[in-house]
A and B are shown apart, each in its own frame.
Chain A
Amino acid sequence: MGKGIKTFIKNAAPKAFNFLLFLVIWQLIVVVFKIKVFILPSPIRVLQHLFYPPIAAKYNWWLHVGATFMEVIVSFVATAIAGIFIAVMICWSPVMNQLLSPIIILFNSLPKIALAPLFLVWFGYGFLPNILVAFMVAFFPVVINSAAGLMAVEEDLLDLVNYLNATKAQIFIKIRIPNSLPYIFAGLKISATMCVVGSIVGEFIAADKGLGYLLRDAQAFIDTPTMFACLFLLSIIGLALFFAIGQLERLVMPWNRRREA
């Protein structure tokens, strides 16, 4: 375990240093060129908005972060489950494939974000329309990647079980699904980013809380430091989700981890 932490620090140290360097240069530029705070606030100013109690207390950060985070997580889990399930259905049955594929292609060609105003009309303000927007945006990468993975099985691997007269269920459980895991995770990683995008767009249009809502609110008052603070928090949410998926991937596919080592 101690070794694990050591390698983690070893890997993380250069990245942390680069990030700090970036902040220092940013701070210097703002100070040296005397850039006005509503154009580009200094990183110290942004961090004050987040963490310096007298200023931070004015903003209900936890409420907004919590709202956005919940939307991202719920929409991500929903896209993952629905996406993988539908991909399995498409690959399982040719009838399902013919039935669902045209619908998926049609919906995928639609700019999904354009659905957000419609969802506002249908579902009003709040949680549900935001999740639906995120779902619509993030769903297709999972379906398309998972289906591609399930189809992309070497013919020889099928021979390997077919000469023993394997059932269709056995072929799925023992060959197709494990074989598609790398594809599924690639889809999930795209989907995670898209869930953040979808949630924010939903909040722009129909919300009374969340970081997207706060961004628009701050924009109305030209409160640039708050806007930057929102962007900072959004990137943290995105990174956290991405990291979590990476960890899950290592857990589910230990054979890949060994290859890296």
Chain B
Amino acid sequence: MISQPRAGKSIGRFALSEKTLLSIKNLKKVFPLQGEELVALGSVSFDVYPGEFVTIVGPSGCGKTTLLKIIAGLLPKSEGEIHVDEAMFDPTREVGFVFQKALLLNWRRVLDNVLLPIEILKLDKKKYRSKAMEMLELVGLKGFENAYPNELSGGMQQRVSLARALIHDPKLILMDEPFGALDAITREKMNLELQRIWSESKKTIIFITHEINEAVFLSDRVVVMSARPSRMVGAVDIDFPRPRKLEVRTTPQFGEYAVKLYKMLEIT
């Protein structure tokens, strides 16, 4: 029933690539808690190939965010390995992170928020201004570059944070439930947008959600994690052609994928 993560083979646009962009083996994270050890992330292993869209699903508290933060270098790992192909990308500079909250700096106008990574990476800000404008257009916020974050709606703020994560042209984008706080309609729009941006920009994305439909719709592969004690249950390849339309959700195959994931999550 449960398909293990494939080694050396990928699906989707980069089916021929044998080289992983990122390879995670037996990654584990424990936090000390009142003298005891709290396992935040039990042994997780999966590979990510260049250009892939990989989604991690699992109940709240299963360590999804912890996993992403370890990949981004925000938390140290306790055990296991993360292997990055440094010939393909520089993990200290070529990562983009979209957080659960938009996390815009309210003292900066939208354009300057988008340019924040450029400043931090000490790149030439002037050169990236026009790119920032393009990014804002890409996420449908043309004309809002001079607004302050508190003048925008929640969905618009999250789109600014998406533009910010893309501005420095990262190879790998980490997304931590970026649409969790949005209403259902905005969320579906954002899913379509994200698919379009991803296919245009040829990025690799690791995406976290606990919304099964979102996971099936967006992903090349879905990695399933269990509740505490956190561990990896398995992975499912999603074999729909791209670009996908929202109607794909009404197909029987979509339902089968969803049921398979629900079973792996032990929701029956």
Contacts and interface: CB of A to CB of B under 8 A. Distances in A.
Interface of A: 154, 156-157, 159-166, 170, 174-175, 178-179, 181, 253-255, 258-259
Contact of B74 (A162, A174, A175, A178): A162
Interface string B96-138: 0101010101110000000011011100000000000000000
Contacts of A174: 105, 116, 119-120
Contacts of B93: 164-165
Contacts of B105: 157, 174-175, 178
A178 B106 CA distance: 9
A164 B69 CA distance: 12
Interface of B: 69, 72-74, 92-93, 95, 97, 99, 101, 103, 105-107, 116-117, 119-121, 148-151, 168
Contact of B148 (A175, A181, A258): A258
A167 to B, nearest CB: 8
Say whether chain A's binding surface is mostly helix, strand, loop, or mixed.
Answer: helix
A252 to B, nearest CB: 9
B101 A156 contact: yes
A127 to B, nearest CB: 38
Contacts of B119: 170, 174
A126 B72 CA distance: 60
Given A164-B93, A175-B105, A170 B120 contact: yes
B106 A164 contact: no
A163 B74 contact: yes
Contacts of A161: 116, 120
B150 A258 contact: yes
A201 B150 CA distance: 44
Given A161-B120, A164-B117, A259 B150 contact: yes
B103 A156 contact: yes
Contact of B99 (A156, A165, A175, A179): A156
Contacts of A162: 74
Contacts of A157: 103, 105
27 contacts: A156-B99, A159-B74, A159-B99, A160-B99, A160-B103, A160-B116, A163-B72, A163-B73, A164-B95, A164-B117, A164-B168, A165-B73, A165-B93, A165-B120, A166-B120, A170-B119, A170-B120, A174-B105, A174-B116, A174-B119, A174-B120, A178-B105, A254-B148, A255-B106, A255-B107, A255-B148, A258-B148
A180 to B, nearest CB: 11
Nearest to A154: B103
Chain A CB count within 10 A is highest, among B74, B107, B117, for B107
A162 to B, nearest CB: 6
B74 A165 contact: no
Nearest to B150: A259
Contacts of A258: 148, 150-151
B265 to A, nearest CB: 27
A154 B116 CA distance: 17
A163 B95 contact: yes
A241 to B, nearest CB: 24
A175 B120 CA distance: 11
A166 B190 CA distance: 29
Nearest to A159: B74
Given A154-B103, A160-B99, 8 more contacts: A156-B101, A159-B97, A164-B92, A164-B120, A164-B121, A165-B93, A170-B120, A255-B149
Contacts of B168: 164
B203 to A, nearest CB: 16
B107 A178 contact: yes
A163 B97 contact: yes
Contacts of B92: 164-165
B148 to A, nearest CB: 4
Contacts of B116: 160-161, 174
A166 B105 CA distance: 15
Nearest to B68: A163
Contacts of B120: 161, 164-166, 170, 174
